[in-house]
Homo-oligomer: A and B are copies of this chain.
Amino acid sequence: MEYGLLFGGKSYEHEISIVSAIALKQVLGTQIAHFIFLDGAHRFYLIAEKDMRSQFFSSGHYKKCPEIVLKHQGFHTQGLLGSKPINMESLINLIHGGDGEDGKIASFLEFYGIDFIGPRVEACVMSYNKYFTKMLAKEKGIKTLPYVFLDKREGSAIKGLSYPLIIKPNRLGSSIGISILKDEKDIEYVLDEVFEFDSQVMIEPFKEGVKEYNLAGCMVKKGGDDTESEFVFSVVEEPKKRDFLGFEEKYLDFGRTQKVKKADISSELEMQMRALFKRIYNPLFVGAIIRCDFFVINDEIYLNEINPIPGSLAHYLFEDFSSTLERVILPKEVSIPITYHYIEQIQKAK
């Protein structure tokens, strides 16, 4: 398979996406035929393989690369004699956070009918917005931690909560902007800080000693058949314990190229997680490799969050990542007939 790899984006996770793309390049090698970078000014650039180093982007050198445009039939280079399509079999959306996970890039790709691996618009919105994820989990009968949702514009007072609390920007990943609040007296200050990142925040109890587990997976073609499907699951990982999940640690996480050790959990718990994963995935996330982050408290599984584009696609959790990627089922484009039937009827009746 010849992939295009799309990374960058105008978001707080811009740098993370660059590191993530460099890691995925090491894993997939020549299977990635084209590297496409979206910069903070919302311009796309075609990056040569040899330039896939973090400094190439931080230094601004990428601006000397050809600027490309996204339109019908995909990305195009532009020259004096017109534009030329950049050929690929499928595009991997590896833009973490804003643009990539909020539905914008998915919209472009769906609009232009481009085959891509990544969450579709609805899947993005339901997972990027933590408040909507809570609603989705509730609807599907999946436990989540209790929460208070706060919008800056509404400015509701929050009283009578038990401390400590964890306060997260509602629409941001990679632990950016997360604060632990130990005492009510600091709430104004901490809220101000989190509101820097998003106008909405999600407040949850901060529980110490909670077990955390990550499970990635996707729906793939069964055998060579296009009509039958099955799930591929990764190993369950117990992420490195961090009292407070720091951005820098998570950041380095995105550059991982090594496989991880399977978490020490019962096969029963693993089966339960897989069942919950399927309930979340199907049909909303078809087309994407996602990672579900669970908590286990008193043997009960809680959904913490859905990561619709995990760092370097969580390749390090899969046994055979490359073949899994090739088998991902992409949603079919729906054909919609435009007949002008009603307009013609009305014209006749006039």
Hey, which bits of chain A sit against chain B, CB under 8 A? 10-12, 14-16, 18-19, 39-40, 42-43, 54-55, 57-58, 69, 71-72, 98-99, 102-104, 106-108, 110-113, 121-122, 125-126, 129, 131-132, 134-136, 138-139, 151, 153-154, 199-200, 247-248, 251-252, 282-283, 286, 334, 336, 338, 340-347
B346 close to A54 (CB less than 8 A): yes
A111 close to B99 (CB less than 8 A): yes
In addition to A57-B343, A138-B139, 17 A-B residue pairs with Cβ atoms within 8 Å of each other are A10-B336, A11-B336, A15-B342, A16-B342, A40-B338, A42-B72, A55-B343, A103-B103, A103-B121, A106-B107, A122-B129, A125-B125, A132-B132, A135-B136, A135-B138, A135-B139, A151-B283
- State how many copies of this chain the complex holds: 2
B10 close to A347 (CB less than 8 A): no
| Bound-state Cα–Cα, A200 to B39, Å | 36
B338 close to A42 (CB less than 8 A): no
| Bound-state Cα–Cα, A122 to B129, Å | 9
Nearest CB in chain B to that of A341: its residue: B15
Which B residues touch A340, using CB under 8 A? 15, 57-58
Which 7 pairs from chain A and chain B are nearest by CB? A107-B107, A58-B340, A40-B338, A135-B135, A125-B125, A104-B107, A58-B343
Which B residues touch A251, using CB under 8 A? 342
B121 close to A126 (CB less than 8 A): no
Which B residues touch A151, using CB under 8 A? 282-283
Which B residues touch A40, using CB under 8 A? 336, 338
Nearest CB in chain B to that of A42: its residue: B111
B125 close to A338 (CB less than 8 A): no
Which B residues touch A134, using CB under 8 A? 139
Which B residues touch A54, using CB under 8 A? 343, 346-347
A338 close to B199 (CB less than 8 A): no
Nearest CB in chain B to that of A107: its residue: B107
With known contacts A40-B338, A342-B15, A55–B111 Cβ distance under 8 A: no
Nearest CB in chain B to that of A99: its residue: B111
| Bound-state Cα–Cα, A200 to B284, Å | 11
* Distance to closest chain B CB from A15 (angstroms): 5
